[in-house]
Structure 1
Amino acid sequence: MHLEIQGLQTADAPTLVLSSGLGGVAGFWRPQLAALEQHYRVVTYDQRGTGRSADTLPEGYSMAMMAAELAEALEQQGIERFDLIGHALGGLIGLQLALDYPQRVGRVVVINGWLSLNAHTRRCFQVRQDLLLNVGVEAFVRAQPLFLYPAEWMARNQARLEQEDTHHVQHFQGMENLLRRLHALKSADFRPHAAKITQPVLAIYSQDDLLVPWSCSPELAAALPNASLIEMAWGGHAMSVTDAENFNALLLQWLTRKEAKDEYA
């Protein structure tokens, strides 16, 4: 698994692990690095079967496997204790880690995530899957920004989107890998286990998210014993990209407020 460690390098520096969504690659977090590296040791990684972590995923691939792979990769780097910030699928990996490795996980931030898959999100995933299977990779990639970004932002960033489309087609994770990762994501259901996740969790969401209804984050927060909720009015599913300055400020405020030095003892 390709993993990079940036920011503070002292032995007692608090560690933030950044976990991406369905795309899986570390580059998603570029808008956050400068803000976070001043205060934390920051770990980014390409999830198994994506980007620079090329692999063929097995049948029955699951959220628990995604969490275990990350836990092992961090342990190999000598990182036993960490907080995790995750976008959608990445946030669910964080919740799974909190369940399966409770002594290692301090805090979890879930960006536009959910407790269990909403019917609307399932429909969106089905549309994307149909495009991939029936039209092809290029159509799947071209449609992806529609679910990530507000229309106004896309209209102002057409050149950037065209460059990203080309890059994503060239570095596509592969149909089988994507379908197995998507199945794992759709199958994840934290309703039976939410009460066991006692770590501080921030559910942060954008009201204009097309892919995940904003109500999913309050539902998630209500099910967890120690959750906070932050709403952003604009930015779409990927508001950490489209409104990075505001997102970073809100994130750092929560992290600072929830800082507990003895969590890293």
Structure 2
Amino acid sequence: MPYASIKGVEIHYRIDGAANTDAPWIVFSNSLGADVSMWTPQLAAFASRYRVLRYDTRGHGHSDAPKGSYTIEQLTGDVLGLFDTLSISRAHFCGISMGGLTGVALAARYPDRIDRVVLANTAAKIGSDEVWGPRADKARQGGMASLADAVLPRWFTPAFVEREPLMYAHIRDVFVHTDNEGYASNCDALRIADLRGETHNIRARALVIAGTHDVAATPAQGQELAASIAGARYVEFDASHISNIELPDAFNATVLDFLAEA
């Protein structure tokens, strides 16, 4: 199981993809409460054309969950550390929710490292103190199972949950086994991160994806994000918060088309 040691934190990652070592890189960044497995619906479509790098955000999956509140600077620093460890000079980046916020910061602050950026079901400012403070407290005090029944129904439409019970059960299993302190520390990062004053610095070609039924990162927030990035493209799916799983075919086709545009 591969790890990169980044400033003393072990970050778990996986690489799949084109045998051609000259193929471009694309990095996938998970949402809060998920891990690398959330991108399984993308692997077959992307691995034939790209070198695919997935990683567990600190506090998630098999990555370390160091004590103390995290910051967006640490989350972007972990990605840049992976780039340096793997000798990646430049890559496409696709993040969803928290991973999308990480993508906003990377594209705004490190334009020489990011080629094209896909910002899915996210915003430059996600939630508020009233959301993240109590969420972090509950994770620390009650564990992840105490949050699952309130959080996970917001991720998907009821139709998806009824249609894909095994997939939903897997996602719930990953969520409830996420390190509670790691989850809470990422809530702290989201609570203080406000990148609305930085999105105008993004010069990378950007695709913003929203879900019509998403209440965590609403279509209005997605439209606001796209409008703040010069030349950004906005697409809205008939999905909720985790659109890459709920509508994988539409997600894959849209992102692949975007990456291939001249």
TM-score (norm 2): 0.88
Structure 1 range deviating more: 131-140 or 207-216: 131-140
Q: 1:247 matched to which residue of 2?
A: 251
Gaps of 5+ in 1: 260-265
CA RMSD in angstroms, aligned pairs only: 2.1
Q: Report SS of the residue matched to 2:63.
A: coil
* Shift, 1:125, TM fit: 4.7
Distance 1:79 1:109, change over 3 A: same
Instruction: Give yes or no for the alignment of 1:149 onto 2:156.
Output: yes
Percent identical residues: 28
| Counterpart residue type for residue 89 of structure 1 | M
Match of 2:223 in 1: 218
**Stretch moving more, 223-232 or 153-162:** 153-162
The structure-2 alpha-carbon separation of the partners of 1:132 and 1:197, relative to structure 1 and needing over 3 Å to count, comes to same
- For this pair of structures, how many residues does the alignment match? 252
Is 2:202 the partner of 1:197?
yes
For 1:111-154, what per-residue CA distance to the aligned partner results, in whole angstroms no more than 9, with x for missing partners?
011122356xx666567446535654212123332110001211
In structure 2, the residue matched to 1:80 is 89
Q: Deviations over 1:199-247 (max 9, x none)?
A: 1111011111132211101100111123111111x12101210111111
| Larger mean Cα displacement after TM superposition, 151-160 or 122-131 | 122-131
Match of 1:7 in 2: 17
**Taking structure 1 as the reference length, what is the TM-score of the superposition?**
0.87
Structure 2 CA distance for aligned equivalents of residues 103 and 5 of structure 1: 22
Distance 1:167 1:46 in 2: 12
> Which ranges in structure 2 are unaligned for 5 or more consecutive residues?
1-10
Over 3 Å counting, the alpha-carbon distance change for 1:145 and 1:118 in structure 2 is closer
Equivalent-residue separation in structure 1 for 2:134 and 2:67 (angstroms): 23
1:77-156 equivalences under 5 Å are 77-118=86-127, 125=132, 128-129=135-136, 131-132=138-139, 135-156=142-163
- 1:68 equivalent among 69, 77, 94: 77
Q: Is the 8 A contact 1:142 1:165 kept in 2?
A: no
